[in-house]
Structure 1
Amino acid sequence: MLNRKRIDILLEKEIIEAMGCTEPAAAALAGAKAAELFGMKPERGEAVVSPNMMKNAMGVSIPNTSLHGIRAAVSLGIAIHKSSAGLSVLSTVTDKERKEAAEFPLEVKIDENAPSLYVKVVVYGQGHSASAVISGEHDRFTSLELDGVVLSEATMFFPECQSFSEDSFLATLTLGDVVEYASSLSDGIKGLLRKAVSENRAISDEGLRNEWGLSVGRIMTASLPSVPGTLQEAFTMAAAAAAAGSDARMAGSVLPVMINSGSGNQGITVTVPVSILAEYLGKSEDEMLSAVAISELVGLVLTSFKDRLSALCGAFTAAIGTACAYSYLLGGDISTMDATINNMIGNLSGIICDGAKDTCALKIYTSLTAASIAVTLAMNGKRAGGEAGIVGDDSLSSIDHLTRISHEGMEETNRTILRIMLEKTPR
């Protein structure tokens, strides 16, 4: 029997608000918590991060500053020294905090053996120390220490096993389960998804109106009518609108986003395009929200297999969720969604993650264009089959193969990507 309550709780935990890119935000949050625990002005600090955290924070703009990278994010968090805002910790930064962060002596190290998503911040002063560790999820504290003593406060946050148990639960959900859940949403979840669409459409509109980053979304909509007149125009508008949200977000817009799988770009990808296609098709709000629930859940399921940070681009896996939502809105059934996933995995599986930065908007646009191709083929009875490369006989097999590539096949790719980035970019 479908455990609706557990899915409700999971979505309420996952679809939350964040300001700016979530890797710098997580690093700043760890810094803020360590400084908060310390209780006085620290003299120096140390940050230890996983390779993926380093990679994802290097090239993206930090809101309310002109800064990039782990060093800046952690130093700002330490200067702010308040963790109550969570992943919106950087939503307000004063001139005084910017100055303190710029002057703060912080050593940054990479731990090659750390979990994929990991940041530890230690602050020192007057013979004392305090540390905070975030691991597994962007806002999940797994260790808090003061002068080497583990604090019981850590139990207020998510326990060490929770991320694993949630991933295990997500991995059991079938496409049938996802569609069944989405077909009858509680009022609370409808409100949550409505907020996600509204906030993410707002940053998308900002990217469409103004010059941010590469302006992928704004430029790609320049030749489109304000209201799409064909399905293809709706698909193009949907892809460009999502890219526009990323344009603004990666360039440091202070507008918040509602995230998916710990990522604002993925949150934008699974909401904005779905709402635009629903509008074009004349769907009711309830139908649109059901489609968004499908895209959110499929995105989370795929992340449970591949990890939150890896060498595989998260926009691609999020766009698979969007493609399934497209199928739902166009009247497809479970078989059509299954074919859509196969078509996606048969197309863009090699797209790499080389950190958060302005070109993420390009990858979102490309991935969502692939989503429209995948669902169009599936709606016409076409599917990539088990004879095609890494594609399996069904979507579950294809996802398993994609997971193996992400874990076994791309570990050295990930190391090479980071080496290249470190050679050209200061930490």
Structure 2
Amino acid sequence: MSQMVWKEYIKALKNEVKPALGCTEPISLALATAKARSVVGDEDILSIVAKVSPNLMKNGMGVTVPGTGMKGLAIAAAAGAVCGDAEAGLEVLKNINADHVANAKKLLDQNLVSVSIADVDKVLYSEATIKTQNHVAKVCIADTHTKIVRIEKDGEVIFEEPIIEGKGHTKPYDLTGASIADIHDFCTNAPLEDIAFMKDAETINTALSVEGLMNDYGLHIGKTMMKQLDKGFIAQDLMTDIMIRTSAGSDARMGGATLPAMSNSGSGNQGISATMPVVVVADFLKASEEDRIRAQALSHLVAVYIHNTFPALSALCATSTAAMGAAAGMGWLLGDKKLDVINDAICSMIGDVSGIICDGAANSCAMKVSSTANSAFKAVIMALDNVRVTGQEGLVSPTVEESIRNLGSLVSDGMKQTDAQIIKIMINKSQC
């Protein structure tokens, strides 16, 4: 494989594996309001009018915004306007404090913030218009959570990047021609210094997991499972440890912890799902620093590669594909770095968890994170025993690449109506 292709893999990791504070959909809107606020200046806010795509609405309605103790897009918009760092990307709310929260709540109490669905042909889109006594600013974000495509001030466009309706965003890297085999080769043999930055994924997401086990965030699934060990309801073993430590990270992240997650493909939960199972197995094996880094790179890059076969937001719970990355990383560590173990584990996961739907970001996401982590380890231990879901069953084909394409086709084409129905149900619920 050429060094040029390896450079694309490094770019993919650096672009798709980034720290993010809070669920990235409401954070995207907070970034839009923070940028709009920076344009109008420090005058008193008269109104904030936010509009988002249906999928962003779905993923922003039920999740806690970090540091606020409140759920939803309205508080995210208000917080972004009050204290958001417009240059901090997915960490836009990193400076939030109690005074900021009080001021953001005042905007809500005074009915100065509105959020509705935008009429756009974009899966990922948010816009915010802030009006003060002397100025009005509008900021639009599209295609990725942090890509600002338009800024207006007092009716004048001061920045614009063309949006082609119905067309996907061109990514700053190219995975054309990539394969699980090539990714495996890269992560096994690339110079360690080229991928050493992947150590940060372990450091950041482990801290989030520890936080989730120490406090009652969200549904505190990880902490609850840990309590059951003493009762004998569950056993202390590697699979249980994987489920507990992985779900705890999601508990904290969805429950409003003010620690960042290392995200994958624009999602903190995907980052946690790709990271923590590999960390737990590496701890169990007492793996070397080099093997830990290479396994993290493999997990995250496989997750990015599979996720690139379908839209950024869809009806599929993408922790399932992130956990396929984790299966690759765990399989590499436990299976003597053998490619066949990785291929078989991914195929078995496609046969197992490809039907898990995304019904919006919420505390319950930690349950799905736990389930997909369990599936990943189960698929790995099957593969270690030379067992996999065969190519004659369901979505699974004889090869891993065909199986991934089948999954991508299902999500991109077959699940569109499912996604629309989920959004319709959720919107109707919110209006009851």
Q: Which residue in 1 is equivalent to 2:118?
A: 111
Question: In structure 2, what is the equivalent of residue 364 of structure 1?
Answer: 369
| One-letter identity of the residue aligned with 1:405 | L
Residue of structure 1 in register with 2:216 after alignment = 211
Distance in 2 (alpha carbons) for counterparts of 1:273 and 1:179: 18
Tell me if 1:87 matches 2:94. no
**Contact 2:11/2:173 (<8 A) preserved:** no
Give me the whole-angstrom Cα distance separating, in 1, the residues matched to 2:213 and 2:103.
Answer: 35
Segment of structure 1 superposing worse, 317-326 or 99-108: 99-108
2-structure distance, mates of 1:284, 1:266? 24
Aligned to 2:149: 142
**Tell me, what secondary structure is at the counterpart of 2:227?**
coil
**Counterpart Cα distance in 2 of 1:59 and 1:18:** 18
CA distance in 2, matches of 1:100, 1:131: 21
The equivalent position to 2:261 in structure 1, one of 257, 269, 272, is: 257
1:278 partnered with 2:282 = yes
Q: Give the Å deviation of 1:62.
A: 0.9
* Structure 1 residue 25 corresponds to structure 2 residue 27: yes
Corresponding letter in the other structure for 2:46 = E
Distance in 1 (CA, whole Å) between partners of 2:217 and 2:103 is 28
8 Å CA contact 1:224–1:237 kept in 2: the answer is no
Contact 1:242 1:269 in 2 (8 A): yes
After superposition, give the CA deviation of every residue in 1:329-380 in whole Å (9 maximum; x if it has no partner): 1225222222211100111111001111111111011101111111122222
Partners in 2 of 1:147 and 1:102 — Cα distance? 26
Structure 1 position 154, deviation (Å): 6.4
Answer with 115-124 or 127-136: which moved more: 127-136
Name the counterpart of 1:423.
428
Look up the SS of the partner of 1:131 in the other structure: strand
The CA distance in 2 between the partners of 1:377 and 1:183, in whole Å, is 22
Name the CA distance, whole Å, in 2 between partners of 1:206 and 1:122.
35
Partner residue in 2 for 1:241: 245
Aligned to 2:14: 12
1:121 paired residue number: 128
In structure 2, the partner of 1:355 is: 360
Kindly indicate whether the alpha-carbon contact (under 8 Å) linking 2:345 and 2:383 is maintained by their aligned counterparts in 1.
yes
Query: Which blocks of at least 5 consecutive residues in structure 1 are unaligned?
Result: none
**TM-fit CA distance, 1:148:** 3.4
Contact 2:16 2:266 in 1 (8 A): yes
Q: Tell me how far apart the structure 2 counterparts of residues 106 and 283 of structure 1 sit (CA, whole Å).
A: 50
Deviation at 1:153, TM superposition (A): 8.0
- Residue among 49, 54, 58 paired with 2:52: 49
TM normalised by structure 2 equals 0.90
The letter of the residue matching 1:28 is: A
Count residues in correspondence: 420
- Structure-to-structure mapping, 1:37-76, within 5 angstroms: 37-41=39-43, 42-76=45-79
Q: Note the C-alpha offset of 1:211.
A: 1.9
Shift of 1:94: 4.1
Runs of 4+, deviation exceeding 6 Å = none
- Are 2:12 and 2:301, in contact at CA under 8 Å, matched by a contact in 1? no
Q: Is the 8 A contact 2:299 2:326 kept in 1?
A: yes
Matched, 1:318 2:309: no
Q: Deviations over 1:224-280 (max 9, x none)?
A: 59xxxx9x9223211220100111111111111111111111111111110110121
Name the CA shift for 1:188/1:45 in 2 (closer, same or farther; >3 Å).
Answer: farther
The whole-number CA distance in structure 2 between the counterparts of 1:6 and 1:288 is 21
Q: TM-score, normalised by structure 1?
A: 0.91
How many angstroms does 1:40 deviate by?
4.5
Displacement of 1:413 after TM fit?
A: 1.4
C-alpha RMSD of the superposition: 2.7
Whole-angstrom CA distance in 1 between matches of 2:92 and 2:175: 29
Q: What is the CA–CA distance in structure 2 between the aligned matches of 1:382 and 1:168, rounded to whole Å?
A: 35
1:83: Cα distance to partner? 0.5
How does 1:369-384 map onto structure 2 within 5 Å?
369-384=374-389
Deviations 1:1-49 (A, max 9, x none): 5522232233222222111111111110011001111224342222111
Conservation of the 8 A alpha-carbon contact between 1:217 and 1:242 = yes
User: Identity percentage over the alignment?
Assistant: 35
Deviation of the 1:223 alpha carbon: 5.0
Conserved 8 A contact 1:134-1:140: yes
User: 1:222 Cα shift?
Assistant: 3.4
Taking a change above 3 Å as real, the CA distance of residues 167 and 417 of structure 1, as seen in their structure-2 partners, is: farther
Q: Are residues 329 and 185 of structure 1, via their aligned partners in 2, closer, same or farther at CA, if it must alter by over 3 Å? A: same
Distance across 2 between alignment mates of 1:426 and 1:20? 25
The Cα of 1:56 is off from its aligned counterpart by 0.7
CA distance 1:317–1:309, change in 2 (3 Å): same
Give the superposition deviation at 1:400. 1.5
Partner of 1:337: 342
Query: 1:224–1:233: 8 Å Cα contact kept in structure 2?
Result: no
1:168·1:304 contact (CA, 8 Å) conserved in 2?
A: no
